[in-house]
Amino acid sequence: MQIKGKVAIVTGGAGALGQAMVRALLEKEAKVCVFDIHSGRGAEVQTELQNQFGANNVSFSICDVTDDKGFKDAFDGVVAQHGKVDIMVNNAAIVDERGDIDRVLLVNLGGTIRGSNLAIKHMRRDEGGQGGIVINVSSIGGFTPFHALPSYVATKHGITGFTRSWAANPHLETLGLRFGQLCPTFFNSFIVPDVEKQMLYGKEHMDKDHANGNQDPKDIAAGLIEILEDDDSNGVLLHSHPVDGSRRVTIQVADEST
């Protein structure tokens, strides 16, 4: 895909990884709409990025990805402003292992499915759309276990199953759709202190299991651009190494018949 001139939505776009992906898209001259539930941080991000990239190229909408009507209204607002959505990045996620498990499911897995379905309905060519790409942000926990965050990992496994199932659809060429998934390890973010509090085991387990260190969100964002620009990447799950972002492992979607 030629990213220049395309219209993208990034949920959780005011977070650390979200901002990195928004910047990466803006640097490729896309028009980017930041969706986030945090109004104050979202407004700050909008002001900063509009000053750098131009007021017409970036916007912010308050969006709770668990709210069907609110999510649809925000999505429809982007279509009304730009006429289309070409790229949907479902990135919003929370960790609350010791607290509200239902909300973890609703945000992480439900929000991803909800955002994907909005984009699919809008993009699919057989219903008048122009085609497009859906990128879901999962985790290394989307294909490997992590004993300290089992509920969180379950949502990320669900995202992997959802993404791979759509990517295996034999009618994608007719629909004009493509799917991909990012699977980062831990990265520096606004929720890292909460992760340590919510884990079923202590920080010492996190240190042991993630001895390679945290990823730089910029490296993860580079993976997003890599998938978008590779027209043959349907069904790729891209996992970046936490230290050397250039070392990536790709897992191609399996055929449904296997």
Per residue in 116-167, pLDDT (tens digit) is: 999 999 999 999 999 999 999 998 888 888 888 899 999 999 999 999 999 9
Q: Classify residue 258: in a domain, yes or no.
A: no
| The model scores a pTM over 0.75 | yes
Question: What stretches of 63-176 adopt beta strand conformation (E)?
Answer: 87-90, 132-137
Q: What is the mean pLDDT of residues 218-222?
A: 91
Q: Look at the chain and report how many structural domains it folds into.
A: 1
- Interval 162-175: pLDDT, tens: 999 999 999 999 99
The closest alpha carbon to 158, from 228, 206, 106, belongs to 106
Residue 2 falls within a domain, yes or no? no
- Please check whether residue 209 lies inside any domain of the structure: yes
The closest alpha carbon to 63, from 39, 82, 32, belongs to 39
Q: Which pLDDT score is estimated for 247? A: 46
State the pLDDT at residue 114: 98
- Residue 210: CB partners within 8 Å, gap ≥ 6? 185, 186, 242
Collect all residues with Cβ–Cβ distance below 8 Å to 194 and sequence separation of at least 6. 95, 96
Residue 99 has what pLDDT? 85
Mean pLDDT on 221-232: 94
* 217 C-beta neighbours (distance < 10 Å), count: 22
**Given a cut of 90, is residue 52 above it in pLDDT?**
yes
User: Is residue 128 domain-resident?
Assistant: yes
- Is 1 a domain residue? no
pLDDT of residue 195: 55
| CATH of residue 197 | 3.40.50.720
pLDDT of residue 256: 61
Residue 142: DSSP 8-state? G
E strands of 158-230, at which residues? 177-182
- pLDDT tops 60 at residue 245: no
152 is catalytic: yes
3 state DSSP class of 194: helix
**Percent residues over pLDDT 70 in the chain:** 81
Q: Which of 146, 152, 166, 179 is catalytic?
A: 152
Q: Tell me the pLDDT tens digit for each residue of 78-105.
A: 999 999 999 999 999 998 888 899 999 9
pLDDT of residue 62 exceeding 70: yes
pLDDT at 201: 54
80 within a domain of the structure (yes/no): yes
Q: Is the pLDDT of residue 200 over 70?
A: no
Q: How confident is the model at residue 239 (pLDDT cuts 50, 70, 90)?
A: confident
Q: Residue 112: what pLDDT?
A: 98
Report if residue 256 sits inside a domain. Answer: no
Residue 44 inside a domain? The answer is yes
Residue 212 is part of which domain span?
7-251
The pLDDT, as a whole number, for residue 147 is 84
Binned at pLDDT 50, 70 and 90, residue 251 comes out as low
Check whether 193 has a pLDDT greater than 50: no
